[in-house]
Amino acid sequence: MGELADKAKGTANKAAGAVKDAAGKATGNKKLQAEGKAQKLKGDAQKVSGSIKGALGNKV
């Protein structure tokens, strides 16, 4: 995957995770809330990966 693809997937995962986190918090569903937090972290990691690929020219 390239820089832009990683950053786009990271943004999507972060948004989806935020929705799950909020829904879990609103309904008292701790499992859903934890899934949302994990997905947000995954999104952060993907965005960092995309930034690194951009800095190194997609050779990672």
What pLDDT, in 10s, does the model give residues 1-42? 688 999 999 999 999 999 999 999 999 999 999 999 999 999
Residue 58's pLDDT is 57
Tally: H helices and E strands in the chain: 2, 0
* CB-based burial label for 1 (10 Å; 0-12, 13-18, 19+): middle
What is the pTM (predicted TM-score) of this model? Answer: 0.83
